[in-house]
């Protein structure tokens, strides 16, 4: 019966949470994000089986992504699920290769966000049909099956399928133990919740103290609006966390290359472990120049790095020391795996971007896949944790003593029906009531 299940209908809609009102998520580039999702549900012949997926957005324009999801979705109607599952690599390439839609990128911007959302929903279905959380589904694949997921187009000058296979085979020993280790003690997290740019000094201090008490060892603050403010806030954080724990800073792309270098020289005294997004995410050579100039501070980027070709070059140019893949900016598990393999080849740890709405729920799967199948290690790796909006999900992401708890529910992640009803934009109950106020 499962063998003949098809996608019968695609439902796509805009979900927005009013996070801007509390300055949650505020940074130097994004002062007022309303964390949002361009969300879709793939309906199947089985009313109990739905695939959920989304791309993360920050308010206005979510509807543009929804329009792109609907257009891509038309190509999925009638799809036999087991045909897609039998070769998820080919299926992913077929979506990315629709030439009229590729023109709108290629593999970047709205069309790539929509591709990510659609593929996330197909992976959700794949996990549900197999009765496994996505990370366990992928962890159970052979090296050959994993290589089959990856689109090597434009990668072979840095990573061939054979080289990828070598990496994956080298990680075979100990897989079962690593799965058990993840299930027993989770994956290391760091906190960003203490350091949004809109928070005042007292709030930063209090939140750092709370995070410290919760067991965190890595703390990230937003910077980039004023060097004086940044010094004051990062000194507070350094004072609270002490000399031995790690402080990271994040500029969210506000600087040019020379500004980034100068500003980071100004912040060197608080000894940041990394500066995240010091400049345009497109500026590979700029990141490399910054990295050379600010040693021993490292450079991290990735949440806006739009595809595997860009990550390939960031690695080739020694431009980043940490690769912050995003679960909805890259084209789902397939392209994330491509970047994890590239990162392994270049010896760069992958530290996923999270936060927003639903990103924590997704990246815990991806970090686990890296640990079990690719890098085989947690050394130098830490996944972003932001404690917002988890209650909106069927299986909320959870961090305990600064470690992500592994998901156990089959599939990838999905919003609660009541959250969708409340925050659908503009016709959810919250927004209707809000408009009436």
CB 102 → a copy of itself: shortest distance, Å? Answer: 7
The nearest distance, CB 310 to a copy of itself, in angstroms, is: 6
> Hey, what are 32's tokens?
């007022």
Which residue lies nearer to a copy of itself by CB, 245 or 353? Answer: 353
Q: What gap in Å lies between CA 19 and CA 29, rounded to an integer?
A: 16
Which is nearer to a copy of itself, 114 or 397 (by Cβ)? 114
**With respect to a copy of itself, which residue has the nearer C-beta, 252 or 375?**
252
Give the residue numbers annotated as catalytic, written as ranges.
Answer: 222, 353
Name the residue nearer to a copy of itself (CB basis): 148 or 396: 148
Is 61 or 131 the residue whose CB approaches a copy of itself more closely?
Answer: 61
What is d(CA 147, CA 135) in angstroms, rounded to the nearest whole number?
A: 16
**In this complex, which beta carbon is closest to a copy of itself, that of residue 259 or of residue 421?**
259
Angle 289-246-315 (CA atoms, 0-180°, nearest 5)? 35
**Residue environment code for 60-89, b if the CB has 16+ CB neighbours within 10 A, otherwise e:** eebbbbbebbbbbbeebeebebeebbeebb
Query: Footprint of a copy of itself on this chain (CB under 8 A)?
Result: 29-34, 57-61, 63-65, 67-68, 71, 98-113, 152-157, 253, 256-259, 279-286, 289, 304, 306-307, 309-310, 312-313, 316-317
Minimum Å gap between C-beta 241 and a copy of itself is 30
Residue 52 phi/psi, 5-degree rounding, is -110, 140
Q: Report the alpha-carbon distance of residue 275 to residue 17 in Å, rounded.
A: 28
What DSSP line would sit under 50-97, residue for residue?
EEEEEEEE-STTHHHHHHHHHHHHHTTTT-BHHHHHHTHHHHHHHHHT
Closest contact distance (angstroms) between CB of 18 and a copy of itself is 13
Q: Least distance (Å) from a copy of itself to the CB of residue 94?
A: 14
Taking the complex as a whole, the smallest distance from the CB of residue 144 to a copy of itself amounts, in Å, to: 21
With a CB cutoff of 8 Å and minimum separation 6, the contacts of 318 are 288, 291
Cβ contacts of 115 within 8 Å, gap of 6 or more: 72, 95, 96, 107, 331, 332
Report the residue number, 109 or 143, with the smaller CB distance to a copy of itself. Answer: 109
Least separation, in Å, of the C-beta of 159 and a copy of itself? 11
Query: How far, in Å, CA of 417 to CA of 246, rounded?
Result: 39
Q: How far apart are CA 4 and CA 2, in angstroms?
A: 5
DSSP string, 235-251: HHHHHHH-SSSEEEEE-
Rounded to 5°, the CA angle 393-396-399 comes to: 155
């Amino acid at each position: 019966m499962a063998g003949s299940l098809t996608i019968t209908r695609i439902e796509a809609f805009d979900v927005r949470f009013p996070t801007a009102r509390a300055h949650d998520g505020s940074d130097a580039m994004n002062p007022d994000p309303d964390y949002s999702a361009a969300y879709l549900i793939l309906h199947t012949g089985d009313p109990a089986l739905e695939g959920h997926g989304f791309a993360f957005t920050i308010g206005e324009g979510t509807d543009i992504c929804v329009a792109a999801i609907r257009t891509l979705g038309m190509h999925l109607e009638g799809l036999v699920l087991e045909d897609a599952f039998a070769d998820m690599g080919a299926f992913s390439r077929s979506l990315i290769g629709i030439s009229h839609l590729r023109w709108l990128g290629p593999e970047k911007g709205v069309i790539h966000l929509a591709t990510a959302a659609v593929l996330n929903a197909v992976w959700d279905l794949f996990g549900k049909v197999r009765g496994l959380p996505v990370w366990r589904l992928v962890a159970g694949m052979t090296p050959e099956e994993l290589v089959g997921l990856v689109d090597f187009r434009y990668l072979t000058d840095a990573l061939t399928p054979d080289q990828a296979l070598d990496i994956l085979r080298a990680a075979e020993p100990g897989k079962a133990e690593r799965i058990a280790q993840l299930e027993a003690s989770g994956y290391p997290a760091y906190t960003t919740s203490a350091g949004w740019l809109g928070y005042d000094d007292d709030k930063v201090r209090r939140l750092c103290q709370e995070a410290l008490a919760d067991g965190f060892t890595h703390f990230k603050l937003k910077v980039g609006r004023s060097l004086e403010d940044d010094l004051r806030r990062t000194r507070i954080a350094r004072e609270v966390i002490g000399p031995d724990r790690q402080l990271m800073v994040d500029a969210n792309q506000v600087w040019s290359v020379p500004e980034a270098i100068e500003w980071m020289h100004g912040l060197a005294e608080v000894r940041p472990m990394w500066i995240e997004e010091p400049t345009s995410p497109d500026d590979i050579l700029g990141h490399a120049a910054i990295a050379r100039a600010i040693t021993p501070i490292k450079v991290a980027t990735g949440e806006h790095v739009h595809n595997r070709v860009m990550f390939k070059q960031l690695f080739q140019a020694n431009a980043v020391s940490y690769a912050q893949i995003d679960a909805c900016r890259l084209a789902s598990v397939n392209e994330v795996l491509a970047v994890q393999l590239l990162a392994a080849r270049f010896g760069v740890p992958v530290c996923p971007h999270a936060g927003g709405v639903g990103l924590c729920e997704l990246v815990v799967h991806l970090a686990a896949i890296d640990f079990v199948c690719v890098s085989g290690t947690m050394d130098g790796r830490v996944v972003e944790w932001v404690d917002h909006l988890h209650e909106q999900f069927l299986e909320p992401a959870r961090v305990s003593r600064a470690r992500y708890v592994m998901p156990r529910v089959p599939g990838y992640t999905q919003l609660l029906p009541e959250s969708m009803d409340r925050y659908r934009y503009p016709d959810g109950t919250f927004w209707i009531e809000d408009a009436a106020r």
